[in-house]
Structure 1
Amino acid sequence: FRELAIATKNFRKDCLLGEGGFGRVYKGHMENGQQVIAVKQLDRNGFQGNREFLVEVLMLSLLHHPNLVRLIGYCADGDQRLLVYEYMLLGSLENHLHDRPPDREPLDWNARMRIAVGAAKGLEYLHDKANPPVIYRDFKPSNILLSEDYYPKLSDFGLAKLGPVGENTHVSTRVMGTYGYCAPEYAMTGQLTVKSDVYSFGVVFLELVTGRRAIDHTKPDGESNLVAWARPMFRDRRKFCQMADPLLQGRYPKRGLYQALAVAAMCLQEKAASRPLIGDIVTALSYLASQHYDPKSLHNGKSYGEADRDRKSAAKVDAHE
């Protein structure tokens, strides 16, 4: 504890990076001065915090992937509970998408697609590579942290759950998570599957494309819930361009927008079984992110032949939908 108190200048206010339901996060420097860290100090209000602390330590000690935030260490000293992570230079996706200071440029299309595919790869590792699978359960913009070059890493594993094993199809659990991101079947029954995370991913991906919050009570009636607003528009391609974030100022590939919204619509299907697996989402988004968009280029840097080939492959995707 003493080491972390020194690293954060005794948890001084000017080292405070952010505050959440769990406690506060401070920026710190380890004694050698070389390593910059983020120190999460959990509220000392009893059992729930302690349990989430243990889950977080266990999960991040066992799970390692470039798109998951790295746990450097922890401190359980008396009633102090602290977690020490690598420091993420650019803060959270929430800071760039919704709480952007006026002097910061909005995210461009390419950065949004890179963030989406990286975050999806983090989920893919949890669902497909971890054994037993891990259901993340709290996928939202404030839990997606960004290092330099907008490289995304999932953080905050306090709510993560080990997924079903053997013959089981789901795990039953108390409904936790964040309003607006919870899959309908999980909110109603407490039955949790990897498809619950796919729904939450769809909400965040829709936020990336539209620039809107999942729940925004400042919007007019009928528009405060992002998914409810988007659902009818998914059925009418002519409305797709109206859904793009106005801050993009039209600087996005039209076909890329259509494909992105098709992926979001698939993730947000009411029936869990109809949603795609995260591996398929990673494949689709890797393609989208590889199509680097250059607003200055007429054919987006492609020859006519390439542009034509792309149109044909897009038509195949459309036919498949």
Structure 2
Amino acid sequence: MGEPTEIRNASADRAAAARGSGSVPGEGRTVHRPGGATRAAQTPAAALRSRVREQRRTPLRPRLWFELALIGFSYLIYSMVRNAVPEQEKAAQQHASWIWHFEQHLGIAVERSVNHGVNSVGWLIVGMNYYYATLHFIVTIGVLVWLYRSHPGRYAAARSVLFVTTGIALVGFYFFPLAPPRLMTGGNFVDTVYVHHTWGSLASGAGAQVSNQFAAMPSMHIGWSLWCGLTIFFLARRPWVRALGLAYPLATLMVIISTANHFWMDAVGGMVCLAVGFTASRAIYHVWVYQLPRVTGGADTEAPVTVPEQWTTPVGATRH
């Protein structure tokens, strides 16, 4: 005696479903693989998003001519915008007074003591003047060249950090004009470039006529030097080179204070701008810049870059 028709039909339906012969309405259908593994077939839109994410994580090799033109054009725009900001001396002096009194309230207003102390050592302050005038550009360009040659897969993201940092700084220059300590009325700071007649800086003397003297907040000497230092620390292989990377922004901080070109708070502003730059790059490439592959195309045989644990843990996940 055979099975009832209803039972046979139900069995056939279950068997067909098990073989994946049915389809489910929606974005895609479920595909059954041998061994029980299943995956959802991607729609064209989902596949495109996946390809975009993958391209962001494995950027193309940068083109030299394009990068040279981009850096040159960007620095030209930076200089033009920075110097085109109206020199609002009254507001700049008022802001300097605010910052100086705020630091005094916090007990960290030691810039004047450092400035006078280092100025008494002639060879040291002269060296710092030349440091301030030259290394700001030399080291930054050197790190960019090193990234381009040795870490092409990370170059574009690292360069983006620098560009965003500088762009945010231009906003600060415009909306918060600030007199540096050496120009603050009644501050009794020593203008070390003027006193020691050193060359190569637009901070004082004839060069001051072509440079905005009230664009001190935030300090791009700190923003750029910290970018260089972190890049060297995370990507260099030799321990002594990594140590130099960390020492560079610290030395720069000492220089900007000793030469009375910046307050402590200007340095904090530079660090905030850099943090925004790193965050923007993270949003674009979906990973932190130093976690990108060293070479383009994703074929990276280098040992993983060591980064803080919180950088690699997804938001909301629990660390063990």
| TM-score, length basis structure 1 | 0.24
Higher relative contact order (CA 8 A, sep 6+): 2
| TM-score, length basis structure 2 | 0.24
Greater percentage in helix: 2
Greater percentage in strand: 1
